[in-house]
């Protein structure tokens, strides 16, 4: 089982003063699979994300990451940028956080900062212009170009990220996270604000990341059509605790989920769940 699991969250608790945002949450995300974390607003999904990606320090519990090389990394002990740098966990944000004044290409170059820093001999070799750095930069540009092609933004490569359409910005943020070469990609509501066609394109992109690149994905999402279509495994949260988990089919039919996730009106709940199928 441990070979299958890339991320295991064990009895995670997060308190803010007297408020318990997440309580004793345990779940696992499988390697090369898409795991979705869903739940009504305020369920504590983003808090879990912030704990996993190091923006919060959990009050209790353990978060273990097992990358492909078999190491075990205790994420709750790493902080800040080290989770992205050493554990290779990349993330996107609910409200897009691109570098708006930099071009799409530059955004993807910044994502490769750590690799390029090493290649530039921590700036000193790069400053005098050694050829190894130039090669590394060319490779970085090639990787960025490849991702721009994948997200269909190659012709906008030299435009400022802030000038791109909303849907394009969402995709660019995912591409930027992928340019860090992550073992686990965490997406916070990637389909928020997208229209049906853009959502479909997003689903396709995420499936291609899983199938072609073998990157494990953990996502928070409200758009049920996306969640039901691409998820291999779904964890449902409400009021900081896990109330159900399983395959999309299993979760959809769970009465507890329908009641908790969508309020008490079961008819309406059933209707919304249907729309996601």
Partner 1 sequence: MTATPHETTSASRTAGIPFLLKTACINALIALVLFSLMVGIRTEAGSDGQLTYWTRFGDLASLVAAVFGGSIVIELLRQWIGPTGAEKLVPPAVQRGASFVGRYLAPALLIFTLLVPVIFYNQRYILDLAILVLTYVMLGWGLNVVVGLAGLLDLGYVAFYAVGAYSYGLLATNFGWSFWICLPLAGILAAFWGVLLGFPVLRLRGDYLAIVTLAFGEIIRLVIINWQDLTGGPNGVSGIPRPSFFGIPLDNSDDGLAAKLGIEYSPTHRIVFLFYLILALALLTNWVTIRLRRLPIGRAWEALREDEVACRALGINTTTTKLTAFATGAMFGGFAGAFFATRQGFISPESFTFQESALVLAIVVLGGMGSQLGVALAALAMIGGFELFRSLETYRMLVFGMAMVLIMIWRPRGIIGHRAPTVYLTKAQAISSDLVKEGHG
Please say whether the dihedral angle defined by the alpha carbons of residues 147, 222, 99 and 164, taken in this order, is positive or negative.
Answer: positive
Question: How far separated are the first and last CA of the chain, in Å rounded?
Answer: 30
* Shortest reach from residue 241's CB to partner 1, in Å: 27
Which of 7, 65, 105, 244 contacts partner 1 by CB under 8 A?
A: 105
Q: Does 146 bind partner 1 (CB under 8 A)?
A: no
Q: How far apart are CA 21 and CA 239, in angstroms?
A: 7
Residue with Cβ nearer partner 1 (117 or 270): 117
Best CA proximity match to 214, nearest among 251, 182, 179: 182
Kindly calculate the radius of gyration of the chain based on its CA atoms and give it in whole angstroms. Answer: 19
Binding pattern to partner 1, positions 170-209, x when CB under 8 A?
Answer: ------xx--x-----------------------------
Please say whether the dihedral angle defined by the alpha carbons of residues 158, 149, 177 and 249, taken in this order, is positive or negative.
Answer: positive
Q: Which stretch binds partner 1 (CB under 8 A): 5-13, 117-125, 234-242, 250-258?
A: 117-125
Which of 42, 162, 214, 263 contacts partner 1 by CB under 8 A?
A: 162
Query: Is the CB of residue 166 less than 8 Å from the CB of residue 191?
Result: no
Q: How far apart are CA 267 and CA 188, in angstroms?
A: 28
Q: Does 157 bind partner 1 (CB under 8 A)?
A: yes
Q: Does 142 bind partner 1 (CB under 8 A)?
A: no
* Binding residues for partner 1 (CB under 8 A): 53-55, 80-86, 90-91, 93, 97-103, 105-106, 109-114, 116-117, 120, 123, 126-127, 137, 141, 145, 154, 157-160, 162-163, 176-177, 180
């Amino acid at each position: 089982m441990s070979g299958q699991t890339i991320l295991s969250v064990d009895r995670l608790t997060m308190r803010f003063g007297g408020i318990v945002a997440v309580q004793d949450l345990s779940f696992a995300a499988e390697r090369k699979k898409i795991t979705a974390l869903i739940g009504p607003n305020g369920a504590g999904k983003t808090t879990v994300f912030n704990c996993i990606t190091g923006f919060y320090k959990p009050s209790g519990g353990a978060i273990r990451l097992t990358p492909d090389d078999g190491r075990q990394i205790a994420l709750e002990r790493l902080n800040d940028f080290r989770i992205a740098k050493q554990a290779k966990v990349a993330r996107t944000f609910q409200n897009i956080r691109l570098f708006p004044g930099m071009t799409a290409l530059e955004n993807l170059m910044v994502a490769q900062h750590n690799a390029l820093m090493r290649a530039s001999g921590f700036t000193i070799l790069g400053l005098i212009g050694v050829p190894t750095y130039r090669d590394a930069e060319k490779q970085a540009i090639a990787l960025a170009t490849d991702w721009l092609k994948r997200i269909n933004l190659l012709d906008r490569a030299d435009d400022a990220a802030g000038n791109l359409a909303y849907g394009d910005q969402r995709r660019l943020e995912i591409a930027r996270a992928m340019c860090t070469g992550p073992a686990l990609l965490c997406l916070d509501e990637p389909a928020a604000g997208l229209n049906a066609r853009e959502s479909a394109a997003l689903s396709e992109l995420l499936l291609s990341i899983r199938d072609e690149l073998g990157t494990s994905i953990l996502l928070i999402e409200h758009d049920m059509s996306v969640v039901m279509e691409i998820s291999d495994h779904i964890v449902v949260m409400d009021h900081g605790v896990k109330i159900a988990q399983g395959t999309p089919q299993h979760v959809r039919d769970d009465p507890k989920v329908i009641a908790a996730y969508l309020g008490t009106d079961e008819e309406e709940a059933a209707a919304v769940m249907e729309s996601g199928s």
